[in-house]
């Protein structure tokens, strides 16, 4: 059923593994290779369903990989997208979140991810600073 899906993206010696573990040393080695593409995208069902591939910076936000995030921003001027901000609430790294908030405005998805990550501080922050409400949806099975 899932034969065509690549679930080995986080195996040893991949840039995605370096991001997942915030391994700056290995991440730098990948970025210094001749074939490195700063604009490469990853499409995988292992991440939230946005129906589009994710940038390296977005993956850094998802995993809370602050060191890799900073390198992409300083060396490659990678763009902070709304998805970066949304994923920063899942990744839980306040440093990444703070940088993303300089360029993007939080939305309901940020609140959803703050709730899913069980971080009451993030939820309270979004409610108090951005007046984002909590919407509860009841599913009947």
**Which CATH number fits the domain that encloses residue 89?**
1.25.40.20
Mean pLDDT of 63-82: 98
Cα–Cα distance for residue pair 37/39, rounded to 1 Å: 5
pLDDT of 75 reads: 98
**Total number of domains in the chain:** 1
**In-domain check, residue 2:** no
Q: What integer best gives the mean pLDDT of the chain? A: 89
pLDDT band at 3 (very low <50, low <70, confident <90, very high): very low
Phi first, then psi: give them for residue 99, nearest 5 degrees.
Answer: -65, -40
* Range in 9-23, 30-44, 82-96 the model is least confident about: 9-23
Percent above pLDDT 70 for the chain? 87
Residue 69 forms part of a structural domain: yes
Does the residue 96 lie in any domain? yes
19 domain-assigned: yes
pLDDT for the residue numbered 45: 73
CA distance 20 to 14: 10
Q: Count H helices, E strands: the chain?
A: 8, 2
Range of the domain at 54: 15-105
Residue 136 lies in a domain: no
Spatial neighbors of 38 by CB under 8 A, at least 6 apart, are: 31, 56, 72, 76, 78
Classify residue 7: in a domain, yes or no: no
Confidence label for 44 from pLDDT (cuts 50, 70 and 90): confident
Helix (H, G, I), strand (E, B) or coil at 42: strand
User: Residue 112: inside a domain, yes or no?
Assistant: no
Q: Is the pLDDT of residue 7 over 80?
A: no
Flag whether pLDDT at 92 surpasses 90.
yes
CA distance 60 to 18: 10
Query: Is 54 a domain residue?
Result: yes
């Amino acid at each position: 059923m899932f034969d065509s899906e690549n679930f080995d993206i986080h195996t040893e010696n991949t840039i995605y593994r370096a991001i997942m573990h915030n391994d700056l040393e290995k991440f730098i080695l990948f970025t210094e290779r001749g074939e490195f593409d700063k604009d490469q995208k990853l499409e995988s069902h292992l991440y939230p369903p946005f129906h589009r591939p994710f940038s390296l910076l977005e993956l850094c936000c998802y995993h809370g990989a602050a060191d890799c995030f900073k390198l992409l921003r300083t060396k490659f001027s990678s763009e902070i997208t709304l998805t970066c901000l949304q994923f920063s609430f899942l990744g839980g790294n306040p440093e990444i979140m703070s940088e993303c908030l300089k360029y993007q405005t939080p939305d309901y998805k940020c609140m959803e991810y703050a709730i899913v990550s069980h971080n009451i501080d993030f939820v309270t922050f979004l409610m108090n600073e951005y007046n984002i409400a909590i919407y509860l949806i009841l599913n009947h099975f």
